[in-house]
Structure 1
Amino acid sequence: MPDSDQNTGQRCKQQCWSAGYKFAGTQGGVECFCGNIFINHGIGMGCTTMCSGSNNGEMCGGLWHLSLFETGLYVPNGFIGCYKDKRDRILSTSLYSSDSITGDVCKQDCKDAGYRYAGTEGLECFCGHTFKDYTKETGCNAWCSGNQNERCGGHWRISLYDTSCEFVNYLK
């Protein structure tokens, strides 16, 4: 995210959550990073830089140290990102529409049907062997009907997944 002179842990968490990410991290007082996985390099004592937007002494990481937070958003394994969709769809096949959709279910159904990629857009599940080179976006803010802690795209926004990804525990 862009550097901010109003950075706090809560503000960074909100920005990352709104952009559809599972993790948020502050660093150097003004920086906010978002992601869906992290590799644990160990716990350090270097989070000594005050948040630029804090008036209560909150620390926002330090030099090469990240204060890490979970946003509370569930992100299925294999999540590629939120993309803008168009009438000429990013994925070639509309598989189905469901009032109990989740990213994991759509991803598995596309995988079972022999597709490499899956995407949720509202109640719809799309599949494809490739995906078009459309713009990576924010705005995947529609809650999945099958999991109210997960985002399933949005208005002309699609949550895109790689069906070939298996779970890797990066937290060990």
Structure 2
Amino acid sequence: MCDTADKIDPNRGKYIDGYSKMFGYGRINAYKALKAVKDDMENSSRGIVEKNILSGVAIPDNDLNGIVSEIQIDEEGIVESVEAVSVDISHTYIGDLFVSLVSPDNTVIPLHEGEGGGKDNLSETYDSKNKPELKQFEGKSIKGKWQLKIVDKWAQDRGTLNNWGLKIKVKT
């Protein structure tokens, strides 16, 4: 409250460290006080961890082992929500692709399961609105190895993982 109070008469009241013997800390400014509390709650109770990987790795055609790309998160904290999993894959037939996210505790969430048929390229951002299964990560540790696994289950069409990223809201 002291930091958000309006000074009553800075010319008449001698203020030392924001306090005047004549006017105290000043007039309460409810708007500034509530805004300061709101800002403090938003900034101190949670943070955002964001990591991106530029890959350029070829996805083997018709290979059930596929590829795995990893993001290491060294920060401590608990997942409050997965804000975004962004995936950018060049491929000539996205119906061949099966893409999943694997958390450090080996929870696997499918992101793309052969949808899209003969369309080219998969450039998508998943969150808990369009992929509610991502809520399964909530309450788990953020620290560790996060993996994106991509499998091309059918022959003839080829592709490349261009990049991918994670944006996670963390309880601190």
Report the TM-score when normalising by structure 1.
0.22
Q: Which has the higher strand share?
A: 2
Higher relative contact order (CA 8 A, sep 6+): 2
The structure number with the bigger radius of gyration is 2
Report the TM-score when normalising by structure 2.
0.22
